[in-house]
Amino acid sequence: MLRTRIVGAMALAFLALALPGALADWNPPAQVSMQEIVAASNEVLGRPDIPFKAREDIFRIRALEMDWDMGAMVYEPEDLSKIPTGPEGNKIGVFLIHGGSSDHRSMDKIARLLVGKFGYKVVSMTFPGRLYLLDPSRDWPGDTIHPDGTVRTPIWNKDQLITPDQYEIQYDGSMREKYGTFTLACAKEGTEFYHRMAGWPVAFEEGGKDLMRRHFPVGEYSIYIHGHSTGGPFSFMFTQRVSNIVGVIGMENSPFGYIFRKQYGYGWDNPKIADGAEANKPFNCLHIRTWRDVARYAGPEALAKEGPDALMRLPMLMEEVFESWKRGTKSPQFKAEGMIHFAGVEPLTAAAQATGKRLNMTVGEAQALVDRYTGYGRELVGKGVKPVPPVIFGVAKTSVDHSPEKYKKITLPMYAAMDPQPKVRLVEFDAGTHGYTSPEPGLPMGPAPAAAKLWYDAIRGGYYEDYARQWAVKK
């Protein structure tokens, strides 16, 4: 009898591994302990390496009667037969979107892990204007603020660079307690800079859709999308605009902009912060990052790890901030995306109206463009609209902006209020920071491998299956 039970258990285990839909009732755990994270990390990193190739995809699109240069990295197994399939039979594609300070290079570790250990095809997109197209290294030169007072600006088109005469420098101390003093480069009306600042949201949408259309064809691939931090609201924006996106795989991923705006302000007495620190900045003002953007994470993370004693080594902590900033200046370190990250209706409306004016749109056309822009910050509703797919939100232990309390009190109820209501689960990881691939004792890639294992289990276990079968196969 015992032998029969053992054989039966082994057979079931084999079926669970062999059949992607065999665990259809699978749901993610609410919490993943340090012991479980270490075990999952060791298991994933110990898997045989799958040979793969990585290449950059630089392309130009036409949007709003302007040419935009875009960039992404594409990772795929050398043997394409190694790409696994999901429950509905389509190949698994993963679309990554980086966070607010960087470009596709910040997602390189997780991309290589996903292709090299799981065999997925991965496309990692760069925000419009963020890639340094003037050097193959993609390293931005110097610092964000130059000795002569000029600043680093996006490269939306390598043949039409932004010049200092197109902007004015302004300073904003309204969020000083959280961010320090903002340095802003505000585009002058009528300049190339102004028109690009008004038009990049559509370029973002069209560029991402172009990448997914070319690399993950409908009927061949099912797409699982992940946006880190600021990339989160953009990933959710794509979920209803690309037919074969079947799920959100998350770790430190912000929700829809209007939800993150409320989530981010929870517990703050300052009404401006509660309203979203970057929600209502003028659309034409580019946030130029400085060491302060490192400090706003370093302080809370040190407090969470060390407690109040962290202040006893404040000089050292400050040195660490400056050292980190110096290393980080090779990344773009500027941000225009706050109006979607926080669903700022006023700047999104103004940007759409400025674009409508430039293109001499009719009243009806201009209003349609306003609706398109403001729709980027929240879920689409209405007859025939593709519903929000299943979601996993992963939260790191010492995350600054993504506390479990906020998700439970604000984010999850707001998703539950959607019609139709999407499947959404929160997973708390007992390790990691907002930069979840950062190493820590016993975890050479932080909790990232454990998160990747969770995503693998979710796909294989059927968490996304019903939605995938309904949407991914549509032509």
- Output the pLDDT for position 24: 54
- Cβ atoms of 111 and 96 within 8 Å: the answer is yes
- Output the pLDDT for position 12: 35
Report how far Cα 441 is from the mean position of its chain's Cα atoms.
26
> Is the model's pLDDT at 2 over the cut of 50?
no
208-253 pLDDT, tens digit each = 999 999 999 999 999 999 999 999 999 999 999 999 999 999 999 9
> Is the model's pLDDT at 18 over the cut of 70?
no
Give, to the nearest 10 degrees, the angle between helix 231-239 and helix 257-265. 140
- Output the pLDDT for position 117: 98
294-333 pLDDT, tens digit each = 998 898 889 888 999 888 999 999 999 999 999 999 999 9
Rounded CA gap, 119 and 456, in Å?
11
Q: Which two tokens stand for residue 44?
A: 């994933």
351-395 pLDDT, tens digit each = 999 999 999 999 999 999 999 999 999 999 999 999 999 999 999
> Is the model's pLDDT at 269 over the cut of 80?
no
**Where do the structural domains in the chain lie, given as residue ranges?**
2-289+333-471
Rounded to the nearest 10 degrees, how much is the dihedral formed by the CA atoms of 276, 280, 282, 283? 70
CATH fold for domain 2-289+333-471: Rossmann fold (3.40.50)
Rounded CA gap, 464 and 102, in Å?
30
49-60 pLDDT, tens digit each = 999 999 999 999
Pairing mode of beta strands 221-227, 91-97: parallel
> Is the model's pLDDT at 70 over the cut of 60?
yes
- Output the pLDDT for position 475: 41
With residue 20 as reference, give the H or E element that holds it: none
3-class DSSP state of 447: strand
Q: Which two tokens stand for residue 53?
A: 């190739």
- Among 143, 147, 149, 181, CA closest to 165: 149
Rounded CA gap, 376 and 379, in Å?
8
Give the Cβ contact number of residue 218 at 10 Å: 18
